[in-house]
Structure 1
């Protein structure tokens, strides 16, 4: 088969076939009387082998090595190709992220493109100080998704604080930009998302925090409950009580419960929840002791009767603590 026919059937141009021949990769088996290249079936099969290996990203030199050395083991070469492809994809993903960030900023001039690009460079710096500086120097119109993505990935507390400040100024779409963080399989990312949401006003942020009360991670639940409790949400009460029992941010939880209990509409629910836990015979001593200490944060008219009822508790540590706290409240309130 002559080169023109081979090119038509294989889809490989005649020019490329000549290049293959010059490299010794696919050399025609014969020549016609007139000196034209003549390809045998085995030559055509080799052409298809070359094209198949090219689709895997092998260079022509590597292809020649594979085809000419029957003992060549593919595992090492394929592993190298996988790693190189992963690096290339990472570079492309980074480029795509930058382009989307620039597009989201809605630039009307190249000055805007340069500004957002400089911010992205700063956020990608290995220096925490440089990242913090980039956030604090950013314009107010930075797209929320850019800041949210950085906040969800930021481990340095100072940079994270700057990002939360910037997100609080970002206006619309912040909660939506943080939503993927709440669904992350990484608990650290979910914690960062809740910490940012805690600083945001409005019903949309409160709704997102409420959904985090059911998170599997105790720190995520704790951040959400404290933030919601500070907003006056009664939905945080069960989690706040559980925090005291488990010893997770129990002091903060007790303070928030005390503030919530100052509202008569929530006081009864808090009183019932604490009473039920204190009466649980299976509750361990340390947990009951933390619950007693938490009672001291409640308004006096609620806390004092509950503490007096515990003065005769079988657990003498609980009884003595209740008596001491009741005495403090009586002195403060002049009872």
Structure 2
């Protein structure tokens, strides 16, 4: 079969077939009387083998070695190709995200595009100060898209930078809630902790619903931040978690203040007092925890907790009794 017919049937151009011949990769078995290349079935089969390996990303040199070396083991080469392909995909994904960020910002001209690109470079810097600068400057003339800020919030480990990113995200507008909320489903507890902190600074019923679901998170830190956030939004379902925060600390003062606010609802006032008293009376309660719980009673509005505090003035724990006596004296006046 002559080269033109081989090219037509194989889909490989005649020019490439000549290149394969020059490299010794696929040499035609014969020549016609006129000196034209003539390919036999084995030659054509080798052409298809070459093209198949090319489709995997192998270089022509690697293909020649794979086809001609009987000792060649493909495992190492294939593993290397996988790594290289994964890196190319990562780079392409980064490019796609960068282009999407530029498009979402709706730049009015190339100066805006360049500014967005500069912000994105800073945000991806290894230097925390540069990342923080990018977050703080993202609220200026050409704001960074909320979706990009949300992505950065979920991956940022530096506390100062994370705070700046949350600040920028809360002011960015846009629909970043879904992206941040997706972090609550991450198996990585650090991502969930970052997500709950960011959500706590965003408004809306959708956010409140996600934070309320987080009250059942497996991680204590996530549950604590979710309880403080939804308690501040008036969600009474946070009461058990807030009482738990008072027992365990930290953030017990903040939790006690929120319980005081929620107790303004008459339906919940008695429940909150009962929950606090139950923890105080628990035989396993540590003295420090009982002190925090007693102080929390004083945060309840009016004289709601007065009877419970009077009872505690006779408590066997002298520190608790003295604190209760002082609180009762204050309420009586």
Same fold (TM over 0.5): yes
- Rounded to whole Å, the distance in 1 between the matches of 2:42 and 2:322 is 97
Give the structure 2 partner of residue 64 of structure 1.
Answer: 64
Equivalent pair of 2:146/2:175 in contact (CA under 8 Å) = yes
Which whole-Å CA distance do the structure 1 matches of 2:71 and 2:123 have between them?
49
Residue 331 (str. 1) matches residue 333 (str. 2): no
CA distance in 2 between counterparts of 1:334 and 1:180 reads 50
| 1:206, distance to aligned residue in structure 2 (A) | 2.4
1:243 aligned residue? 245
Q: Which residue number corresponds to residue 271 of structure 2? A: 269
> With structure 1 as the length reference, what TM-score do the two structures score?
0.88
* Count of residues paired in the alignment: 328
Q: State the partner residue of 2:42.
A: 42
Q: Distance in 1 between matches of 2:263 and 2:279?
A: 17
Instruction: Trace 1:296-307 onto structure 2 (pairs within 5 A).
Output: 296-298=295-297, 299=300, 301-307=303-309
Distance change (3 Å), C-alpha of 1:215 and 1:121: same
Structure 2 SS opposite 1:108: coil
The runs of 5 or more residues in structure 1 that have no matched partner are: none
> CA separation in 1, counterparts of 2:235 and 2:276?
17
Q: Which stretch of the first structure deviates more once superposed, 233-242 or 204-213?
A: 204-213
Q: Secondary structure at the match of 1:136?
A: helix
Would the aligned equivalents of 1:214 and 1:221 in 2 still touch at CA under 8 Å?
yes
Normalised to the residue count of structure 2, the TM-score between the two structures is 0.89
Q: Matches of 1:211 and 1:144 in 2, distance apart?
A: 23
Any conservation in 1 of the 2:276–2:293 contact (CA below 8 Å)? no
Compare 254-263 and 119-128 and name the one that shifted more: 254-263
**Do the aligned residues in 2 keep the contact of 1:274 with 1:291 (CA within 8 Å)?**
no
The answer on 1:167 being equivalent to 2:165 is no
1:222/1:248 contact within 8 Å kept: no
Q: Report the counterpart of residue 101 of structure 1 in structure 2.
A: 101
Q: Distance in 2 between matches of 1:267 and 1:310?
A: 19
Partner in structure 2 of residue 112 of structure 1 = 112
**Deviations 1:241-278 (CA, angstroms, capped at 9, x unpaired):** 23344556445433432343355443222123334445
Moved more, 234-243 or 247-256: 247-256
Matched ranges for 1:116-265 at <5 A: 116-138=116-138, 139=140, 141-247=143-249, 249-265=251-267
Output one character per residue of 1:76-110: Cα deviation in whole Å (capped at 9) or x when no partner.
Answer: 21121111111111111110000111111122322
RMSD value over aligned CA atoms? 2.4
Listed as ranges, the gaps of 5+ residues in structure 2 are none
The reply on whether 1:294 has 2:293 as its aligned counterpart is: yes
- Structure 1 counterpart SS, 2:114: helix
Q: Which moved more, 1:239-248 or 1:36-45?
A: 239-248
